[in-house]
Amino acid sequence: MKKTLIWIFAAAVVLGAAAAAWGIISFKGNAVKQSAEIYLSKRSDYTTLIDSLKPKIGHHLAFDIYAKRLNLEQTFKPGHYILNEGMDVIEIVRMIKLGMQTPINVTFNNAKTPAYLAGKLARQIDADSAEIAAVLTDQAIAEKYGFKNPLTMFSIFVPNTYELYWTVSPEQIVERMNKEYEAFWADRDAKRKRSGLSRLEVMTLASIVYEETRATDEMATVAGVYINRLKKGMPLQADPTVKYAVGDFTLRRILHKHLRVDSPYNTYKNRGLPPSPICMPSIAAIDGVLNFEKHNYIYFCARPTFDGHHNFAATYIEHLRNARAYTKELNKRKIYK
């Protein structure tokens, strides 16, 4: 009997040690064999979390035990999480419970309107385009940041790649972009003041320049043409503003019927700059305006070679010659609209 008790005691000790060892291995052992990432939307429930997470980790029982101990089902935070190789169950549960997510890179450029921008952002963050568009077109939010309306607030979006949390709200994006906008202009305001243009005017003119040419080596020259026209009180007669006014960005040929459209953005009918940017200009276009080339050109026309560059002219006669050559090539290529 005594020997039996000894054996029972010994077995209990062994089992206890084994259980302790299992606990240490399961809770502190390597649960992530290969680095991975998961995205937990604000609309995700706990089942979605488990379905996303468990195929990427080991020690499932230990995870369930520790997740229950920390009430993860009721307290998990949405976000973008990186599961680094070698992480244990404790680290994983605490990371998701505390919302220790990893930022993502959000890139945007070449957006024509707030609606276009909303679509670009919706493909990169945890928010739908309607939700984003509602914020980008909100009058009260625009006024909060010192803009008359949402179309002028659009100018705070300087194209670049930004590090943001995947769960960032549209309101937080506007707040962040306003800070980036201020930082962007901190290094450029002195040059801008010398030009006599406001920030909004620079962004608006840069949007026209960007739509006129993607050739960075002639952006300052194109900007110089428009600066000359503004100084002379001439209408800008910028074809891209007509496309914006018409609402058709696919137009390749501006016709007389397009020039008659009644819109403050039609720079054939209205002198000066349009009320707001007609697109999100590139940084190169913005700097092209700030560094506009001083010359005597008043006109420019796309080259008939269709190489993305332009022929510039100081006289109307010279411009007509350039325009006829371009029109002839349009007809030759059967580009009628």
Answer yes or no: are the C-beta atoms of 111 and 279 closer than 8 Å.
yes
Question: Residue 26: its pLDDT value, please?
Answer: 57
Calpha distance 213→153 (Å, rounded)? 24
Crossing angle of helices 199-212 and 239-246, rounded to 10°: 100
Residue 246 counted as domain residue:
yes
Calpha distance 335→337 (Å, rounded)? 6
| pLDDT over 80 (residue 13) | no
Residue 260 counted as domain residue:
yes
Specify whether 193 is located in the same domain as 260. yes
Q: pLDDT tens digits, residue range 65-87?
A: 999 999 999 999 999 999 999 99
Specify whether 81 is located in the same domain as 92. yes
What is the overall mean pLDDT for the chain? 89
Domain boundary among 57, 82, 98: 98
Question: Residue 143: its pLDDT value, please?
Answer: 96
What are the Cα distances from residue 263, in Å, to 30, 130, 240? 64, 26, 13
**Predicted confidence band of residue 336 (pLDDT cuts 50, 70, 90):** low
Residue 160 counted as domain residue:
yes
Domain boundary among 98, 129, 146: 98
Specify whether 227 is located in the same domain as 323. yes
| pLDDT over 90 (residue 116) | yes
Answer yes or no: are the C-beta atoms of 154 and 277 closer than 8 Å.
yes
Q: Regarding beta strands 160-164 and 299-302, do their DSSP bridges make them parallel or antiparallel, or are they unpaired?
A: unpaired
Question: Residue 303: its pLDDT value, please?
Answer: 87
Calpha distance 278→244 (Å, rounded)? 6
| pLDDT over 50 (residue 174) | yes
Specify whether 159 is located in the same domain as 198. no
| pLDDT over 70 (residue 54) | yes
Domain boundary among 186, 206, 235: 186
Number of domains observed in the structure of the chain: 3
Q: 278 or 332: whose pLDDT is higher?
A: 278
Specify whether 197 is located in the same domain as 287. yes
| pLDDT over 80 (residue 132) | yes
Amino acid identity for residue 122 in this structure: A
- At a CB cut-off of 8 Å and minimum separation 6, what does 244 contact? 112, 265, 274, 278, 279
Give the number of other Cβ atoms within 10 Å of residue 184's Cβ: 17
Specify whether 153 is located in the same domain as 281. no
Residue 150 counted as domain residue:
yes
Specify whether 254 is located in the same domain as 322. yes
* 236 exposure class (CB count in 10 Å sphere: 0-12, 13-18, 19+): buried
**What is the pLDDT averaged over residues 214-238?**
95
Calpha distance 121→144 (Å, rounded)? 22
Domain span at 94:
28-98
Residue 257 counted as domain residue:
yes
Residue 251 counted as domain residue:
yes
Specify whether 278 is located in the same domain as 262. yes
Calpha distance 13→291 (Å, rounded)? 81
Token pair 């998961």: residue: 38
Calpha distance 192→337 (Å, rounded)? 37
> What residues form DSSP beta bridges with 276?
none
Residue 2 counted as domain residue:
no
Dig out the tokens for 37 from the structure.
């990432």
Answer yes or no: are the C-beta atoms of 44 and 126 closer than 8 Å.
no
Question: Residue 27: its pLDDT value, please?
Answer: 59
Specify whether 313 is located in the same domain as 193. yes
Calpha distance 98→312 (Å, rounded)? 60
Specify whether 212 is located in the same domain as 297. yes
**Predicted confidence band of residue 10 (pLDDT cuts 50, 70, 90):** very low
We report the CATH number of the domain holding residue 42 as 3.30.1490
Specify whether 91 is located in the same domain as 128. no
Calpha distance 109→325 (Å, rounded)? 33
Q: 189 or 4: whose pLDDT is higher?
A: 189
Compute φ and ψ for 160, nearest 5 degrees: -175, -175
Dig out the tokens for 42 from the structure.
């604000």
pTM of the model: 0.85
Specify whether 93 is located in the same domain as 226. no
